[in-house]
Amino acid sequence: MKIFSESHKTVFVVDHCPYMAESCRQHVEFDMLVKNRTQGIIPLAPISKSLWTCSVESSMEYCRIMYDIFPFRKLVNFIVSDSGAHVLNSWTQEDQNLQELMAALAAVGPPNPRADPECCSILHGLVAAVETLCKITEYQHEARTLLMENAERVGNRGRIICITNAKSDSHVRMLEDCVQETIHEHNKLAANSDHLMQIQKCELVLIHTYPVGEDSLVSDRPKKELSPVLTSEVHSVRAGRHLATKLNILVQQHFDLASTTITNIPMKPTFSVFDQEEQHANTSANYDVELLHHKDAHVDFLKSGDTHLGGSSREGSFKETITLKWCTPRTNNIELHYCTGAYRISPVDVNSRPSSCLTNFLLNGRSVLLEQPRKSGSKVISHMLSSHGGEIFLHVLSSSRSILEDPPSISEGCGGRVTDYRITDFGEFMRENRLTPFLDPRYKIDGSLEIPLERAKDQLEKHTRYWPMIISQTTIFNMQAVVPLASVIVKESLTEEDVLNCQKTIYNLVDMERKNDPLPISTVGTRGKGPKRDEQYRIMWNELETLVRAHINNSEKHQRVLECLMACRSKPPEEEERKKRGRKREDKEDKSEKTVKDYEQEKSWQDSERLKGILERGKEELAEAEIIKDSPDSPEPPNKKPLVEMDNPPPVEKSKGPVSLLSFWSNRINTANSRKHQEFAGRLNSVNNRAELYQHLKEENGMETTENGKASRQ
């Protein structure tokens, strides 16, 4: 596939000279009288379109089909030529729609038959066409910018479709020579310009059109290479519907389209309000609708022979259409799993009644399965028509055997035997992490563009920092009481209200512990009754701390939640405390470092925790291990001052406004405690409330003690 092939840029050059005002001599009856009202009235005389009208409506039809199937990256530039060239639009994507072109054409109006034919010529348009092909499109510009030093890979090719009334074969030759020469000149200009690109390849499609009934003065000529840059072909076509048919064939050739006819469409005569009067009351015939789409939608039909026809552009082959039968719509979507492609469509006869019935049916959200007509009885569904967001797509459904058939069950693989996954919770997680389009660009604080998808990934990262996969691995996520905290702590930033809610949650837990409420601790794999109640609470507090700690670097408010948690969490019984005291001493040393504990550490801790959870669950060492691991963060025995205050003095003075319950509480404890003892020497000499302990050891052994302390914790 090439994005910048000839079909990236199409220039229409339509002759607007006086002779184009001539009639095409094909009459249209427009005054169709309804039988019962028309006695004695002679219908108005039929009218006929001018060559100009035929040319314009055929080229609009070409554009309509192209825009339907390729709304992007296939561009049209419309030029009208008389005494000069009128360029009706530009290559920009905003200019690429029928409304714009129609409005511009209305402004030009039909050719003036009384203008001086001598000063009018199609040549002006052709010269302008070459000029416009040298202009860079926004897609080319974007690709060039993206490729940087490889910018020369971006091709510049294009097609000029010229509809005119030529005088003779030699006149045609003259037009070709003119294009050839102009390309040569403009390529020279483009070579020295940053805004222009040289034309590498140009396909000139000259269409000579003449009134029906006249002899053509110009002969057809298949595609011929005039120079390495220019190829040219000549079509001599009668005006009227012949011209429209020709352009329909060309649009299929130029954009690799194929045709599918949907047959057997059941249609009630009452579908269309407007046409009621024309309908015979009891016609309920089956209709056919022809659709165009990219030929890849027929890939399964291309038998070995057809795929290799290559460039042979036999006209007949484009008349071919593949007929598929309408199947009554079903809701069973199982076939979609084998959908191998979806292709935009355009109806050939867009506003005929059957076409608009079919398209409206699809646009209203219903789907139609299409069946291959087969001689044998078997029914093969090969395609499906369905719309997405106001666009209709032809979906290719694989009708052969699937290589994905009979997949093994997921329960046979890794983790398949585990039965207590938090399926519902993860469903909730997924719903919270759903995606939505952000079409307007947003900017970060530093002014760089914010990519919504990156935001989504950041959120996933935050939300999964602590996320146990199975129910028996967690306590807090099985507790309704923790939900208010767990749901907000993962956020990037917290509001005051969020913090308050978290604190309330913690107080609530403290309350539960005081009342000795049971906890939903998993007893899977444990012998006996499982851990004791106070042990259960310690496990719960530890887990909650892990969750909160995973987020303390998000914001200062997260930090406050941790402070609250640390201040409130239950205190281990004294005897255990005494047992561990020896170890504790060492641990206290890296306490100061730990306050700025980075996330990595936390993560590895989590992992080891998780692993332990799996491997050692139920073993008695588990409880002990957790206590040991966790000891640095556990509060000191009650007769001592709580450690938290040493590390993290609550920001009492800082916070403006009403004093929070936490700070009120901490302050009280502070003052109460300070009365009971003499101030530590260390605190008196501290910098920012931090004092280095055991400085003499450091002087002797360097950092070793700290290292050891750490190692013993692992």
Partner 1 sequence: MPTVVVMDVSLSMTRPVSLEGSEEYQRKHLAAHGLTMLFEHMATNYKLEFTALVVFSSLWELMVPFTRDYNTLQEALSNMDDYDKTCLESALVGVCNIVQQEWGGAIPCQVVLVTDGCLGIGRGSLRHSLATHSQRSENNRFPLPFPFPSKLYIMCMANLEELQSTDSLDCLERLIDLNNGEGQIFTIDGPLCLKNVQSMFGKLIDLAYTPFHAVLKCGHLTADVQVFPRPEPFVVDEEIDPIPKVINTEGDEVGTGITDDNEDENSANQIAGKIPNFCVLLHGSLKVEGMVAIVQLGPEWHGMLYSQADSKKKSNLMMSLFEPGPEPLPWLGKMAQLGPISDAKENPYGEDDNKSPFPLQPKNKRSYAQNVTVWIKPSGLQTDVQKILRNARKLPEKTQTFYKELNRLRKAALAFGFLDLLKGVADMLERECTLLPDTAHPDAAFQLTHAAQQLKLASTGTSEYAGYDHNITPLQTDFSGSSTERM
- Interface with partner 1 includes 447 (CB under 8 A)? no
Q: Which helix (H) or strand (E) holds 257?
A: strand 257-266
d(Cα 474, Cα 490) in Å, to the nearest integer?
Answer: 17
Among 7, 77, 121, 346, binds partner 1 (CB under 8 A): 346
DSSP 520-560: ----TT-STT-S-HHHHHHHHHHHHHHHHHTTTTT-HHHHH
Among 201-209, 349-357, 480-488, 568-576, the segment contacting partner 1 (CB under 8 A): 349-357
- Interface with partner 1 includes 445 (CB under 8 A)? no
d(Cα 651, Cα 648) in Å, to the nearest integer?
Answer: 8
Among 148, 281, 404, 711, binds partner 1 (CB under 8 A): 404
For partner 1, give the closer residue by CB, 484 or 649: 484
Site string for partner 1, 215-254 (x = CB under 8 A): --------------------------x--x----------
Quote the least distance from Cβ 123 to partner 1, whole Å: 21
Among 470, 568, 625, 643, binds partner 1 (CB under 8 A): 470
For partner 1, give the closer residue by CB, 198 or 705: 198
Quote the least distance from Cβ 541 to partner 1, whole Å: 22
Site for partner 1 in 490-529 (CB under 8 A): 491
Tokens 């399926």, residue located: 423
For partner 1, give the closer residue by CB, 122 or 179: 122
Among 174, 363, 483, 524, binds partner 1 (CB under 8 A): 363
- Interface with partner 1 includes 364 (CB under 8 A)? no
User: Phi and psi of 298, rounded to 5°?
Assistant: -105, 15
Tokens 């049971």, residue located: 518
* Count of all residues that appear for the chain in the document: 714
d(Cα 330, Cα 327) in Å, to the nearest integer?
Answer: 8
Cβ atoms within 10 A of the Cβ of 480, count? 7
Site for partner 1 in 587-616 (CB under 8 A): 603, 614
For partner 1, give the closer residue by CB, 389 or 582: 389
d(Cα 667, Cα 643) in Å, to the nearest integer?
Answer: 14
Quote the least distance from Cβ 40 to partner 1, whole Å: 10
Cα separation of the two ends of the chain: 57
Among 148, 414, 445, 687, binds partner 1 (CB under 8 A): 414
- Interface with partner 1 includes 256 (CB under 8 A)? no
Among 117-125, 399-407, 532-540, 563-571, the segment contacting partner 1 (CB under 8 A): 399-407
User: Phi and psi of 674, rounded to 5°?
Assistant: -65, -25
Among 462, 504, 594, 619, binds partner 1 (CB under 8 A): 462
Among 128-136, 368-376, 423-431, 502-510, the segment contacting partner 1 (CB under 8 A): 423-431
Among 261, 259, 325, CA closest to 295: 259
Number of residues located near partner 1, criterion CB under 8 A = 136
For partner 1, give the closer residue by CB, 312 or 328: 312
For partner 1, give the closer residue by CB, 73 or 690: 73
The answer to whether the beta carbons of residues 399 and 381 sit under 8 Å apart is yes
Among 449-457, 530-538, 565-573, 585-593, the segment contacting partner 1 (CB under 8 A): 449-457
Site for partner 1 in 98-127 (CB under 8 A): 98-99, 101-103, 105-111
d(Cα 641, Cα 398) in Å, to the nearest integer?
Answer: 73
User: Phi and psi of 688, rounded to 5°?
Assistant: 50, 40
Site for partner 1 in 20-79 (CB under 8 A): 28-32, 37, 41, 44, 47-50, 52-53, 56-58, 60-61, 64-65, 67-68, 71
- Interface with partner 1 includes 4 (CB under 8 A)? yes
User: Phi and psi of 89, rounded to 5°?
Assistant: -155, 180
Among 91-99, 174-182, 590-598, 655-663, the segment contacting partner 1 (CB under 8 A): 91-99
**Torsion sign over Cα 223, 224, 226, 229:** positive
For partner 1, give the closer residue by CB, 491 or 698: 491
Among 205-213, 215-223, 310-318, 462-470, the segment contacting partner 1 (CB under 8 A): 462-470
Among 125-133, 436-444, 650-658, 682-690, the segment contacting partner 1 (CB under 8 A): 436-444
DSSP 283-309: ---EEEEEEEEEGGGGTTT--TTGGG-
- Interface with partner 1 includes 560 (CB under 8 A)? no
Quote the least distance from Cβ 200 to partner 1, whole Å: 10
SS3 37: helix
- Interface with partner 1 includes 444 (CB under 8 A)? no
DSSP 636-650: PPTTSPPHHHHH---
Among 164, 355, 663, 666, binds partner 1 (CB under 8 A): 355
- Interface with partner 1 includes 330 (CB under 8 A)? no
For partner 1, give the closer residue by CB, 346 or 631: 346
- Interface with partner 1 includes 337 (CB under 8 A)? yes
- Interface with partner 1 includes 392 (CB under 8 A)? yes
Tokens of 390: 């106001």
Among 623, 626, 590, 589, CA closest to 606: 626
- Interface with partner 1 includes 356 (CB under 8 A)? yes
- Interface with partner 1 includes 153 (CB under 8 A)? yes
Contacts with 343 (C-beta within 8 Å, 6 or more apart), sequence order? 69, 293, 294, 296, 297, 393, 394, 395, 396
Q: Which long-range contacts (CB under 8 A, 24 or more apart) does 101-104 make?
A: 101/60, 101/63, 101/76, 102/60, 104/78
Contacts with 280 (C-beta within 8 Å, 6 or more apart), sequence order? 269
d(Cα 344, Cα 292) in Å, to the nearest integer?
Answer: 9
For partner 1, give the closer residue by CB, 293 or 641: 293
- Interface with partner 1 includes 455 (CB under 8 A)? yes
Contacts with 208 (C-beta within 8 Å, 6 or more apart), sequence order? 164, 165, 166, 172, 216, 217, 218, 234, 235, 236, 237
For partner 1, give the closer residue by CB, 121 or 140: 140
